Amino acid sequence: MSQSSRGNGELTETTSNEVESSFQVGIVGAGPAGAGAAYALRDSDADVTILEKSGGVCGRAATRRKDGCRYDHGANYIKDADPRTAELIPTLGTEELVNIDEPVWTFNETGEITEGNSRDEHKWTWTKGITQLAKRLLAETDVDVTHRTRVADISRVEKAWVLTDTDNTDHGPFDALLITPPAPQTVTLLEATAWQDNRLETLIAAAGDVEYRTIRTVVLHYPFMKSYPWYGLVNVDKEHPVGWLSREECKDGHVPDGESLFIAQMSPEWSTNRYDDPVDVAGSDTASHIAALLDDERYENPDWIDDQGWRYALPENGIDNRAARVAESAGLYVAGDWIVGEGRVNKALWNGYDTGTRIANALSISQQV
Ligand SMILES: Cc1cc2nc3c(=O)[nH]c(=O)nc-3n(C[C@H](O)[C@H](O)[C@H](O)COP(=O)(O)OP(=O)(O)OC[C@H]3O[C@@H](n4cnc5c(N)ncnc54)[C@H](O)[C@@H]3O)c2cc1C
C-alpha cells in the first residue's frame, strides 16, 4: 500500500489490487497553463503528475504574504475577457472571490492622470490571492503535484518520456508530456532532450523566436491610506519609468484597514537597466516616481518594500499553431501564454486546457486501437 499527495490536498491510498489507469501524463509547471491542462484531464483515464520547481502553484500569477498583507505581485487580476473565463471562475466557488470595483485609469510621460475608458468588466482575484485559480482548478482533480522539483533533462525511452530533475531523480515514464514554462525555459528543456527527431528541432526554433518584456515589480507599503477614484493606473505612452501602479487595498482581505500597499510594475527599460539593483535602491527610486506621480511626498518613504524580478514577464509574440503541435504525434506537447503571444492568465489557462483536451483525446484514441 502506498500514499501520495493529491491536487486536492488529500492523502489517497492505493492497493496493489486496484487497477492502475493505463496512461501516464507528465506536466512540467503548475502555472495557469499546467493547471488548466490538468483540469481538462480530470475526467480522463490518465494518471497526471505535475512537476513544479517552486513551492507553490499558479506561476507568474503569484501571491505573497507579509506583515498582515497579502498581495498579487505578478498578474494583478483575471479579466472576464472571454465567455469561457466568465463562466468558469464563478463555478470554482464564489466564496472569497474578489471583484475589484474601482476602475483602471491612465497616465502619460508627464505624469498627467486621466480617467480611463475601461469597460464594465470583472477584474477577479481572491481574498487569499490570485494563486487560488490554480489551487481551485487542481482541487477538482486527482493530480499529483510534486513541488520544489526542477526538471533538467528529458529523454525518450522506447515510446515514452522520462524526466530527470536537478537532484538526478527520474520521473515517468509518461505516455504524454506537456511542457509549460516560458518559451526560453522551454527551449532550454527541449535542448536538453535526448531525442533525435526533426520535430524537436522545429519546436525549438519556433519557441526560440518568442521575445519577452522584462518587468521588475516593486511593492511599497505605507501605514496610512489615501482614497483615489481608481484601483490601477496604466502608462499609455510607455514613456514613464512606472508602467503600472495599483492599490492592493482595493482587493478585499489583502491589506488591513488604514494601510496602503502599492504594486509598481516598472517599465521594461527601467526593469532591464535596474534588474540587479539592491531592493532598497530600486525601492527608493520607485517611491520617488510614485510621490511625483501622485503629488504627495509622503510616498517617498514607504515603511517596507518588497520586490520580484520577472525576466520573462510577458511574451511579445506567439508561435504558429502548426509549429506548436508538431511533436504532438509523438506525445510531446507545449502550452502557455507564449503559444498565444499574449501575457494573460486566461490565455494561458485556455491554451493549457485545450492542450489537455487534445492529450485526453489522443490517449482515448490510442486506447481504442
Ligand atoms: C508582472 C506581471 C504582471 C502580469 N499581469 C497580468 C494581469 O494583470 N492579468 C493577466 O491576465 N495576466 C498578467 N500577467 C501574465 C500572466 O501571469 C501569465 O500570462 C500567466 O501566468 C502565464 O501562465 P503559464 O502557465 O503560461 O506560465 P507561468 O505562469 O510562468 O507558469 C509556468 C510554471 O512552470 C514552472 N517551471 C518553470 N520551469 C520549470 C522547470 N524546469 N521544472 C519545473 N517547473 C518549472 C514555473 O515555476 C511556473 O510555475 C502578468 C505577468 C507578470 C509577470
CA of 74 to the centre of ligand 1 (A): 8
Residue 265 CA: which ligand 1 atom is closest?
1
CB count within 10 Å of CB 268 equals 18
Q: What is the structure's pLDDT at 22?
A: 76
Q: Which of 299, 315, 331 is the last residue of a domain?
A: 315
Pocket probe for ligand 1: among 60, 79, 311, 344, the residue whose CB has the most ligand atoms within 8 Å is 60
Closest residue by Cα to atom 2, ligand 1, is 74
What's the rounded Cα separation, in Å, for the pair 160 and 204? 19
Please indicate, yes or no, if residue 111 is contained in any of the structural domains: yes
For residues 39 and 143, state if they share a domain: yes
Please indicate, yes or no, if residue 94 is contained in any of the structural domains: no
CA of 123 to the centre of ligand 1 (A): 18
What's the rounded Cα separation, in Å, for the pair 84 and 95? 20
Q: Which of 301, 166, 275 is nearest to 220 (CA)?
A: 301
Q: What is the tally of structural domains in the chain?
A: 2
Please indicate, yes or no, if residue 146 is contained in any of the structural domains: yes
The answer, yes or no, to whether any atom of ligand 1 lies below 6 A from the CB of 136, is: no
Q: Which of 315, 332, 359 is the last residue of a domain?
A: 315
CB count within 10 Å of CB 67 equals 11
Q: In the chain, which residue ranges form alpha helices assigned H by DSSP?
A: 32-40, 83-91, 132-139, 183-191, 198-208, 268-273, 279-293, 321-324, 337-340, 345-368
* Residue 92: CA count within 13 A, CB half-sphere: 26
Closest residue by Cα to atom 51, ligand 1, is 75
Q: What is the structure's pLDDT at 9?
A: 39
For residues 141 and 167, state if they share a domain: yes
Please indicate, yes or no, if residue 9 is contained in any of the structural domains: yes
For residues 191 and 335, state if they share a domain: yes
Closest residue by Cα to atom 53, ligand 1, is 313
- List the chain pLDDT tens, one digit each, 369 residues: 233 344 443 333 333 344 455 799 999 999 999 999 999 999 999 999 999 999 999 999 999 999 999 999 999 999 988 999 999 999 999 999 999 999 999 999 999 999 977 666 899 999 999 999 999 999 999 999 999 999 999 999 999 999 999 999 999 999 999 999 999 999 999 999 989 999 999 999 999 999 999 999 999 999 999 999 999 999 999 999 999 999 999 999 999 999 999 999 999 999 999 999 999 999 999 999 999 999 999 999 999 999 999 999 999 999 999 999 999 999 999 999 999 999 999 999 999 999 999 999 998 877 665
Residue 76 CA: which ligand 1 atom is closest?
8
Residue 337 CA: which ligand 1 atom is closest?
26
Residue 315 CA: which ligand 1 atom is closest?
19
The answer, yes or no, to whether any atom of ligand 1 lies below 6 A from the CB of 151, is: yes
Burial (CB count within 10 angstroms: exposed 0-12, middle 13-18, buried 19+), residue 11? exposed
CA of 184 to the centre of ligand 1 (A): 13
Q: In 93-197, which residue ranges form alpha helices assigned H by DSSP?
A: 132-139, 183-191
Q: What is the structure's pLDDT at 366?
A: 74
CATH classification of the domain holding 143: 3.50.50.60
CA of 341 to the centre of ligand 1 (A): 13
Q: Which of 279, 298, 315 is the last residue of a domain?
A: 315
Q: What is the structure's pLDDT at 67?
A: 97
Please indicate, yes or no, if residue 202 is contained in any of the structural domains: yes
For residues 114 and 34, state if they share a domain: no
**Domain residues for 146?**
2-58+134-211+317-368
Please indicate, yes or no, if residue 73 is contained in any of the structural domains: no
For residues 186 and 280, state if they share a domain: no
The answer, yes or no, to whether any atom of ligand 1 lies below 6 A from the CB of 187, is: no
Q: What is the structure's pLDDT at 51?
A: 98
CA of 33 to the centre of ligand 1 (A): 8
Number of residues in the chain: 369
Q: What is the structure's pLDDT at 369?
A: 59
For residues 39 and 148, state if they share a domain: yes
Beta-carbon contacts of 83 under 8 Å, excluding residues fewer than 6 positions away, are: none
Q: Could you check whether the bond before residue 173 is cis, i.e. omega within 30 degrees of 0?
A: yes
For residues 42 and 182, state if they share a domain: yes
What's the rounded Cα separation, in Å, for the pair 55 and 177? 21
Q: Which cell numbers in the block locate residue 202?
A: 522545429
Measured N-to-C along each axis, helices 345-368 and 32-40 cross at an angle, to the nearest 10 degrees, of: 40
Q: What is the structure's pLDDT at 4?
A: 35
For residues 198 and 227, state if they share a domain: no
Beta-carbon contacts of 147 under 8 Å, excluding residues fewer than 6 positions away, are: 52, 54, 55, 56
Please indicate, yes or no, if residue 91 is contained in any of the structural domains: no
For residues 284 and 359, state if they share a domain: no
For residues 145 and 38, state if they share a domain: yes
For residues 217 and 301, state if they share a domain: yes
Please indicate, yes or no, if residue 337 is contained in any of the structural domains: yes
CA of 303 to the centre of ligand 1 (A): 29
The answer, yes or no, to whether any atom of ligand 1 lies below 6 A from the CB of 351, is: no
Q: What is the structure's pLDDT at 21?
A: 53
CA of 176 to the centre of ligand 1 (A): 22
CATH classification of the domain holding 301: 3.90.660.10
Q: What is the structure's pLDDT at 15?
A: 37
The answer, yes or no, to whether any atom of ligand 1 lies below 6 A from the CB of 122, is: no
CA of 300 to the centre of ligand 1 (A): 30
| 8 Å CB contact between 248 and 272 | no
The answer, yes or no, to whether any atom of ligand 1 lies below 6 A from the CB of 76, is: yes
For residues 341 and 355, state if they share a domain: yes
